[in-house]
Amino acid sequence: AQSVTQPDIHITVSEGASLELRCNYSYGATPYLFWYVQSPGQGLQLLLKYFSGDTLVQGIKGFEAEFKRSQSSFNLRKPSVHWSDAAEYFCAVVRGGGGADGLTFGKGTHLIIQP
Amino acid sequence: AAGVIQSPRHLIKEKRETATLKCYPIPRHDTVYWYQQGPGQDPQFLISFYEKMQSDKGSIPDRFSAQQFSDYHSELNMSSLELGDSALYFCASSGRQGIENSPLHFGNGTRLTVT
């Protein structure tokens, strides 16, 4: 079954510093991959997605992610974080071939921003 | 822009009671997904519907059932509630093009507390 692993439960970054959140996936074919952000008590907001094509994808809020098949990774990056980026970040993969299939989420990475 | 609407926002029930959660997708979205997120946990996919038919099924307990109606809204029915059912329940919707072309939009969730 498809799965994603987020190795870092918590990450602390100083405001203005760069950020990289790790995500590794397990899937036989080319996966459909996503990064979502969740603020406390809120729903999930899509940051970016990868289905095929260019392996470097740009998302909202200045985030980008790079798909690396050789490393089974889809790490999320941001060159300079803002205090408002503090939230929970989830990497996700589609369970099946797409369509109306659900998503399998990683355990999440809690991002803390230091002033 | 209209978003996914979930009601109620909060719900408190006692053990062995029943609960019904409602989800109103974004207009012209025909696919609905349900997720359960326990405290400090990642969202777990429960079930999805496309054009009023069940499409994908995840870790939905037998005590739960769901359906999608002719106006595309969906209801999650939960019976014989247990303490462990206390969680945030998210609904998401997407358009007919499938998740490849129409990303999921999540509602803000229904927080269910079972006492």
Q: How many domains in chain B?
A: 1
User: Is A43's CB within 8 Å of B98's CB?
Assistant: no
Is a pLDDT exceeding 90 seen at residue A53? no
Chain A residues with CB under 8 Å of B94 CB are 100
B34: CATH: 2.60.40.10
A71: CATH: 2.60.40.10
pLDDT of residue B1: 67
Taking the CA of residue A21 and the nearest CA in chain B, the distance in Å comes to 16
Domain residue limits at A52: 3-114
Among candidates B41, B56, B111 on the partner chain, residue whose Cβ is nearest the Cβ of A100? B56
Is a pLDDT exceeding 80 seen at residue A102? yes
User: Is B33's CB within 8 Å of A99's CB?
Assistant: no
Binning pLDDT at 50, 70 and 90, where does residue A94 land? Answer: confident
Binning pLDDT at 50, 70 and 90, where does residue A77 land? Answer: very high
Positions of chain B with pLDDT under 50: none
Copy the structure tokens of residue B43: 């969202």
Domain residue limits at B67: 5-114
pLDDT for A10-51, tens place per residue? Answer: 999 999 999 999 999 987 677 889 999 999 878 899 999 998
Q: How many domains in chain A?
A: 1
Contacts of A7-11 with CB under 8 Å at 24 or more apart are A8/A109, A9/A107, A9/A108, A9/A109, A9/A110, A10/A109, A10/A110, A10/A111, A10/A112, A11/A109, A11/A110, A11/A111, A11/A112
pLDDT for B31-50, tens place per residue? Answer: 999 999 999 899 999 999 99
The rounded percent of chain B whose pLDDT value lies above 90 is 81
Best interface-test mutation with B: which of A33, A42, A103, A109 has the largest number of B CBs within 10 A? Answer: A103
Best interface-test mutation with B: which of A50, A94, A101 has the largest number of B CBs within 10 A? Answer: A101
Best interface-test mutation with A: which of B93, B104, B110 has the largest number of A CBs within 10 A? Answer: B104
Nearest CA in chain B to A47: B103
